[in-house]
């Protein structure tokens, strides 16, 4: 009987995650307007999904759903000012990762990003 492993390494997803991470940094440093506020949020869920798929061998739909739930959880933590409540200093890495401004538009962007993942994964 063969053992099905739930962890593996996938080089293609790693390259995509690195590329998206670099794009996110460039957007944060050099862009403004809708690109930073909306497109960056669409890309961030694709980045998270790619990073997860680099190391896990789970059902793609399950990973997409987990990614969406994770992104929503971070966004709702912003509503409750979790970064401030935990005492993170403004500008610190944990403060930046958790964020500080809740937005319904961000939730929509995360959902759009996950739908894009679903469409691309179906095509390829």
Domain that holds residue 104: 11-123
Domains in the chain, number? 1
Q: Label residue 3 by pLDDT band (50, 70, 90).
A: low
Report pLDDT digits (tens) over 86-99: 999 998 989 988 88
Confidence of residue 1 (pLDDT cuts 50, 70, 90): very low
Q: Percentage of residues in the chain with pLDDT exceeding 90?
A: 87
Position 97 scores a pLDDT of 85
CA pair distance 15, 50, nearest whole angstrom: 9
Cβ pair 54, 10 in contact under 8 A: yes
What is residue 46's predicted lDDT score, i.e. its pLDDT?
98
The answer to whether residue 5 sits within a structural domain is no
Separation CA 44–CA 74 (nearest Å):
12
In a domain, residue 98? The reply is yes
Domain annotation covers residue 59: yes
C-alpha distances out from residue 37 to 27, 66, 121, Å: 9, 22, 25
Within-domain flag for 6: no
pLDDT one-digit tens code per residue, 15-49: 999 999 999 999 989 999 999 999 999 999 999 99
Helix ranges restricted to H, the chain: 11-30, 33-34, 40-55, 60-79, 82-85, 93-98, 104-123
- Whole-prediction pTM value? 0.90
Query: What length is written for the chain?
Result: 124
Give mean pLDDT, residues 102-118. Answer: 98
């Amino acid at each position: 009987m063969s053992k099905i492993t739930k962890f593996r390494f996938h080089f293609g997803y790693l390259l995509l995650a690195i590329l998206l991470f670099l794009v996110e940094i460039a957007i944060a440093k050099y862009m403004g307007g809708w690109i930073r506020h909306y497109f960056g949020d669409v890309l961030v869920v694709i980045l998270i999904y790619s990073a997860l798929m680099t190391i896990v061998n789970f059902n793609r739909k399950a990973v997409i759903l987990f990614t969406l739930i994770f992104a929503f959880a971070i966004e709702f933590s912003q509503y409750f000012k979790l970064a401030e409540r935990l005492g993170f200093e403004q500008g610190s890495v944990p403060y930046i990762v958790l964020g500080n401004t809740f937005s319904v538009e961000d939730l929509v962007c995360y959902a759009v990003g996950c739908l894009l993942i679903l469409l691309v994964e179906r095509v390829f």
